[in-house]
Amino acid sequence: MVQEKGDELTLSVSDPTQTQDKIKLDLGKISLQVISQDDTIKVSEKETYTEIDIDVSGSKGKTHTLKLKIDEKAGELPEEILPTEIVLDQDEIHLNSTNFGVAVNAKVLPENTWMKEIKWSSSNPSVATVTDNGYIAAVSEGTATITAESVRDAKVKTEITVLVENMEGFYIPIADAYVQSGGSANKNFGGDPSLVVKSDISGYGRKSYLKFDVGQIDRDKVESVVLRLYAKGVNSDPERTINIYETDHHWDESAITWNNAPDGSDLLSSTVVTKQGEWYEFDLTEYFKANELDSIISFLVMNPGPNTQKNDVSFTSRESDENKPQLIVRSDHELDPEVSADSMKSLVEQLAEEGEFADDRVPHALKIHLTAVSHFEEQEKADKVVKHMTSFKPLLDQYKEKRQISENAHHLLETNAKRLMEKWQ
């Protein structure tokens, strides 16, 4: 934005997309004096214009401001380059309980437009939600229209239709809340749209609770169970470990506080949280398979690490308009009773069709590995089969660590791999 008042000119620049490191502008005015400037701005005076370089790396979309004393009669103000079109990388999206989210990439044209910030919205958040960076998540069966709109010009927009079907095995909490120690130890936060977790001294520590109704789940057919939490805010510590514990479910969302909240018992799952705007998954499969559970189950979410001022993370709660916590229970795939490398290749292909991998390179690499194992099976070289399948697990773990494979796919392939090794040992 450029504002001229008499012989003073104020320039405000930001990069809402947070994709650029530097912005360069040629101002058709001669600078007589720099009145004030941010440290990120460099001004170079030319013979007939003023060159301005702005370092926007790491600024997270903040505005950089420059104020100049100018020659009123020399040169013209630069003409703003307005957005004219938004292009999405997908035309229509189909989501279900095995493919419940997808990131949509948007490009604002022309590429040199000054304002590239986009406002995302859903016509039906009860069916599908969308984050500020274009991640669309299923909530319930139905149809929703996702709109990407230019912040600069509301007339510049585009839409995409989302169809959500077959959400069996998809559960939203029936209650959730966070609690805080110290002066807030008797305060209830059950209506808050966030689930905050923080390891800190008394008065600043926070932990969260979730409760699910799983009475309709057939435990004998469960293949995998994953708890998914969306981190909408992460403080500046580079990472923090978040643990999930089993806990008593006899607490009330509107009454739970730090002082009356139940303690956690068994540690069920852990993951490392590093940045906001992402889903984090916790594998609860063994917990479901190994225990006779009540129809109502409850979890404690907490950070077991050392106390610091900057380790807090805010997950979205069920009160949030989007990205509510999710419990995904899958029982679609049966373990192959006659497991083989070829049957595992077929499973990889099926999982790929259901969107369980980050990209096509992952299933391609897995199938190459299994093709080699298949040759050794044909030759009945048991030691070779076991050796190659032993190296298959670290490959799966590597993809899981890099978040290139879903918890469901990792569990199914790991289980089949163990059974194949047992078959040839």
pLDDT of residue 217: 80
Tell me if 77 is assigned to some domain. Answer: no
pLDDT band at 10 (very low <50, low <70, confident <90, very high): confident
Between 91 and 232, the more confident residue is 232
Q: Do residues 181 and 238 both lie within one domain? A: yes
Give yes or no for residue 229 having a pLDDT over 80: yes
**β-bridge mates for residue 43, sequence order:** 52
Tell me if 78 is assigned to some domain. Answer: no
Q: Do residues 174 and 323 both lie within one domain? A: yes
Q: Which two tokens stand for residue 41?
A: 């701005």
| pLDDT (average), residues 26-52 | 76
- At which of 37, 70, 103 does a domain end? 70
Whether residue 229 contacts residue 317, with contact meaning beta carbons closer than 8 Å, is answered with no
* Neighbour-count burial of 334, counting CB atoms closer than 10 A to its CB (0-12 exposed, 13-18 middle, 19+ buried): exposed
pLDDT of residue 111: 85
Q: Do residues 15 and 39 both lie within one domain? A: yes
Q: Do residues 150 and 191 both lie within one domain? A: no
Whichever domain contains 14, its CATH number is 2.60.220.10
Q: Which two tokens stand for residue 80?
A: 């703003």
Give yes or no for residue 401 having a pLDDT over 50: yes
Low-confidence winner among 73-87, 117-131, 135-149, 231-245 (lowest mean pLDDT): 73-87
Give yes or no for residue 201 having a pLDDT over 80: yes
| pLDDT (average), residues 272-277 | 92
pLDDT of residue 419: 84
| Per-residue model confidence as pLDDT tens digits over 292-334 | 888 999 999 999 999 999 999 999 999 987 788 999 887 655 4
Tell me if 76 is assigned to some domain. Answer: no
Low-confidence winner among 53-62, 82-91, 284-293, 310-319 (lowest mean pLDDT): 53-62
Q: Measured between alpha carbons, how far is 384 from 386 in angstroms, rounded to an integer?
A: 5
> What are the respective helix, strand and coil percentages of the chain, to the nearest 5?
20, 40, 45
pLDDT of residue 2: 72
Tell me if 306 is assigned to some domain. Answer: yes
Whichever domain contains 250, its CATH number is 2.60.120
Q: Do residues 288 and 387 both lie within one domain? A: no
Q: Which two tokens stand for residue 84?
A: 């004219």
User: What is the residue range of 51's domain?
Assistant: 2-70
CA gyration radius, the chain: 27
Give yes or no for residue 78 having a pLDDT over 70: no
- At which of 108, 131, 164 does a domain end? 164
Q: Do residues 278 and 324 both lie within one domain? A: yes
| pLDDT (average), residues 365-392 | 91
Q: Quickly list DSSP for 129-164.
A: EE-TT-EEEE-SSEEEEEEEEESS-TTSEEEEEEEE
| Nearest residue to 299 (alpha-carbon basis) of 215, 400, 227 | 227
Q: What percent of the chain has pLDDT over 70?
A: 90
Number of neighbouring beta carbons within 10 Å of residue 54:
24
pLDDT band at 50 (very low <50, low <70, confident <90, very high): confident
Q: Do residues 406 and 304 both lie within one domain? A: no
Q: Measured between alpha carbons, how far is 281 from 129 in angstroms, rounded to an integer?
A: 18
Q: Do residues 188 and 301 both lie within one domain? A: yes
Peptide bond into 173 cis (omega under 30): no
| pLDDT (average), residues 98-121 | 84
Whichever domain contains 122, its CATH number is 2.60.40.1080
Tell me if 138 is assigned to some domain. Answer: yes
- At which of 164, 180, 212 does a domain end? 164
Tell me if 129 is assigned to some domain. Answer: yes
Q: Do residues 287 and 380 both lie within one domain? A: no
Tell me if 269 is assigned to some domain. Answer: yes
Q: Do residues 248 and 358 both lie within one domain? A: no
Maximum average pLDDT range among 214-218, 294-298, 335-339, 402-406:
294-298
| Structural domain count, the chain | 4
Q: Do residues 346 and 379 both lie within one domain? A: yes
Tell me if 376 is assigned to some domain. Answer: yes
Q: Do residues 215 and 288 both lie within one domain? A: yes
Q: pTM higher than 0.85, yes or no?
A: no
pLDDT of residue 16: 64
pLDDT of residue 254: 96
Whether residue 187 contacts residue 295, with contact meaning beta carbons closer than 8 Å, is answered with no
pLDDT band at 17 (very low <50, low <70, confident <90, very high): low
